[in-house]
Structure 1
Amino acid sequence: MVTLTDFPAPMEPFSAAWELRMPFPEIVKYLMLAISITLLLLALGMLAWQTYRCCTHSHTRYTQQDTVNNNLMYSVENSSTAGNYSGILSTKMIAANAEACRLSRCFSLASFPSSASSQSDGEMGEKAGTSRKVDGSLRFSVFFDQQQAKLVVTVLQAEGLFQDTRRQSLQPFVKIRLLVAKSAVNMEEFDYDEREATPPVLWTVLQEWKTRVVKGSCNPLFGDQFTCILWEEEDLLHHINLRMEVRDYDKYSRHTVLGEVRVPLRRLHSSYPLELQETLQTPQKDLVGKLLLSLKFLPTSQRLEVGLLKIRTVLTQSCSNEALYARITIQCNQSKLPYQKTYAVPRCSLTVFNEVLIFSLPESPMEQCKVLVYVYKTHTSKKSAKHLIGQSIVGKDKSLEDEHWSLMMRSVRQPVAKWHSLLV
């Protein structure tokens, strides 16, 4: 006979195991559950808030862009309502002007006006002041001591100099050159054009000086005095021009020429101290020689071969122990290639180099390319600082192309030689 009985004993281990898994009172269990639910709700709320902000921000941004575009289009169509958006337009105009100023400073090296000022030691990036108004005057004194054959030049003061609004303050100084005209020069050797009414005057730099830099003044006081002994010829004084350039100093040697003063000493009775005040004029260049340059373009390898063949200058007594060398650089499409130098050759009336320098040009089309040749002098007997004799520029611009450059492009892979003026 089968009997049905209860089995309470097996249930006891299960309850014991449950008690082992949750050894907490009921109040603690419900409290933990409430905290978990609260944290979950808080996280869900934060997620919903961030989603709402993201959606509303995107909608507001697109709405503002559409509104600005509609307003700008409406301001173009109806000029009478342009005042409502003057703030936006003025901001864009200021930004455009700032960008234009930045680009003009970056591209200042690529512009070479015909009347640009000369460049001296280390002044490879000197800027000319011919594209703006020239203001101011220069006060100086000149005296020639006939007994000692000594010329004394004293720079006193510059007045009313032009203040560029893009710069905080001026730092003016004066560079002085004594230029001697040599009348006994055969101009046929310098490729003189007979169609010109008068042959060009060939100059040579006899002496050059610099005054001290006066910071932060449009009316600087200098008071610097310079002397030079003139023993060569009795009438040498009548062939000397005094050229004084007022420049704005730049720590990167890109000095801006503010104006210049030229005084022929033959017109002055300088046997006693004579004080003058002259108005600054637009800087001009002087012919100091000729150089024979060869150009050869290789389109396949995109190379340009620049050959410096000869340099013809006027010799003086002080040029006996001098040597010449050239520094050549190329600016192509607003980029400046590394310069190269020739060897130093002892100076004579016709200095022969016959040296070719090779430059690799960028592959992009050459809209603008210029070859800049700077000729320096140095002493062979002793170590001395270099001095710039003159410079010459050959090449093409967007609107103007040099004749030598045109001949080179028509005679590809063939060297083309031509004389060029050496200016200072």
Structure 2
Amino acid sequence: MIFFAVLGLTFREIQLSFSEELEYSILGISVVFFLIALCLLIWQIYRHCTRFPVSQRPADGLLARSGGFQYATQTNDATMEVHYEELSHRLSPGTSYTNLGSSLDLASIADLEEENIQGSLRFSLFYDQLQSRLVVTVLDAQDLAVRDFSHSVDPFVWVRLLWAEREDEEQSSMQCVLEEWQTRLVKKSCSPVFGDQFSCTLAEEEVSKVTVRFEVRDFDKYSRQEILGEARAPLNSLKLSYPLELREELQVPKKDMVGEVLLSLKYMPTSQRLEVGVLKIRTVCHPNKTDRALYGRTSITCNHCKLRHQSTTQKKRWEVTVFNEVLTFVLPDQQIRECTIIVSVYEIQPSKKSSKHLIGHIHIKKGKTSEDEHWKLMMQSLRQPIAKWHSIFI
């Protein structure tokens, strides 16, 4: 200020002289940057507003959505009006987003007690004979159990279509999963309303071989999802020529056998090596899924922490797929004696990228169950491979 006072100048008297062309150029660049920033702002607002799009229009008849497929069937007997939020994802193998149930494994299904299961699930089923499509609608749930530490629950429903080769298959026999879907997540609600609908192509003669399994799960971002209960609907005992609405009490979840794996185990204490041989995998293959391939992923965990993992090569899927591959793990002796071997079987479609789909798990550890008998035989026969068939559950 002293310098300007000495010169007798003011800020208004300080002017920069630019040519008229340069001034218009600077103004044009400023306008372009302003428009770019405005477009980015509008795009972010649009993404935020459409992340959870809400459809409040009623559906006359049945409005079925499966991927990009939509159809409405007019019915004279009943008109279903469902207001629902269109956040239902049709599960395709290898989807890039994180599924709500992706962190759920076989261990979370075990040891659930009857007193921990409460509530009911309402759903509807319909088979469109003209379109040869099965429509499954998850409507709502009531009186779900809450978590002890938070006194709340964030429920969603995982839907599976289980297919057996014969209509009179028992529940303990092998099945395969035709389709999987998950509903939207409803936060902090013991009586959530879903209204999510799913559909798939299904031949009329195969309807009686399908069981629809509904798992009500509690979403937890930082740990395994807890199963609040399940409901099942065998289609061979239902008349689905018109929309059939059911409400079922939730039951203790049961494992479904989806295959078998012939494994060999060998432990060499001197070199502290554990060899897991994936020899054969037997599965039920649906006629429409003959172009698939299989591979096994073996993980070693200790105190719920994953230590090592390896995968077999991919083999074309047959009724019995032969691998004959041995995976070697080098671990300290204490970790080997206390670890858990988890074999996960995946199905892929070679013609599609990112088409990985989990078939089921096997857990082998030091314990007292029939599956854990293999571990005991391995420790009794050191340096010798011991082979045994194990059931794959999901």
TM-score, normalisation: structure 1: 0.64
Post-superposition offset of 1:287: 1.0
The question of 1:291 aligning with 2:274 is answered no
Aligned to 2:108: 127
Where do residues 46-195 of structure 1 align in structure 2 (5 Å cutoff)?
121-124=102-105, 127-128=108-109, 130-131=112-113, 133-167=116-150, 169-183=152-166
Who is 1:110 aligned against?
none
- Deviations, residues 370-421 of structure 1 (Å, cap 9, x unaligned): 2111111111001134221111112213899822112211221111111111
Superposed CA offset, 1:203-259 (max 9, x none): 11111111011111111110100001113xx42111111100000112246211110
Q: Which residue of 2 aligns with 1:35?
A: none
* Total equivalences in the alignment: 293
Retained in 2: the 8 A contact 1:179–1:240? yes
Structure (1/2) with the larger helix percentage = 1
Cα shift at 1:147: 1.9
Give the whole-Å Cα distance in 2 for the aligned partners of 1:274 and 1:163: 29
- 2:311 matched to 1:341? yes
Q: 2:177 aligns with which of 194, 205, 230?
A: 205
Conserved? CA contact 1:367–1:397, under 8 Å:
no
More strand as a share of residues: 2
What is the DSSP-based 3-state SS (H/G/I as helix, E as strand, rest coil) of the residue aligned with 1:337?
Answer: strand
Q: Secondary structure at the match of 2:207?
A: helix
SS of residue in 1 equivalent to 2:376: helix
Taking the aligned partners of 2:370 and 2:175, their CA distance within structure 1 comes to 28
1:280 to 250, 255, 259: 250
**TM-score, scaled to structure 2:** 0.69
> Counterpart amino acid of 1:161?
L
Once the two structures are aligned, what percentage of the paired residues are identical?
Answer: 51
- Work out which of the two has the higher radius of gyration on C-alpha atoms and give 1 or 2: 1
Counterpart secondary structure, 2:334: coil
1:397-416 correspondence runs (5 A): 397=367, 402-416=372-386
Q: Residue type matched to 2:261 in 1?
A: L
Matched, 1:396 2:366: yes
Q: Give the one of 340, 346, 352 matched to 1:382.
A: 352
Measured in 2, the distance between the counterparts of 1:143 and 1:406 equals 49
Residue 148 (structure 1) shift:
1.7
Provide, for residues 26-53 of structure 1, a one-character-per-residue CA deviation record: whole Å limited to 9, x for no partner. Answer: xxxxxxxxxxxxxxxxxxxxxxxxxxxx
Kindly report which structure 2 residues correspond to 1:224-373, keeping only aligned pairs within 5 A, or say none: 224-231=196-203, 234-252=204-222, 254-332=224-302, 335-364=305-334, 368-373=338-343
Distance in 1 between residues matched to 2:303 and 2:172, nearest whole Å = 33
**Cα distance change, pair 333–383 in 1 and its aligned pair in 2 (3 A):** closer
What is the alpha-carbon distance in structure 1 between the residues aligned to residue 207 and residue 240 of structure 2?
10
CA contact (8 A) 1:334 1:368 kept: no
Displacement, 1:339?
A: 2.1
Is the CA contact 2:371–2:390 (under 8 Å) kept in the aligned structure 1?
Answer: no
Counterpart in the other structure of 1:219: 191
Structure 1 distance, partners of 2:108, 2:382, is 34
Unaligned runs of 5+ in 2: 1-99
User: For 1:120 and 1:309, how far apart are their aligned partners in 2?
Assistant: 29
Compared CA separation, residues 170 and 204, structure 1 to 2 (3 A): same
User: Shift of the alpha carbon at 1:123?
Assistant: 3.5
Partners of 2:122 and 2:247 within 8 A in 1: yes
Gap regions ≥5 residues in structure 1: 1-118, 188-197
Alignment CA distance shift 1:303-1:242 (3 Å): same
Tell me the distance in 1 between the aligned counterparts of 2:293 and 2:222: 27
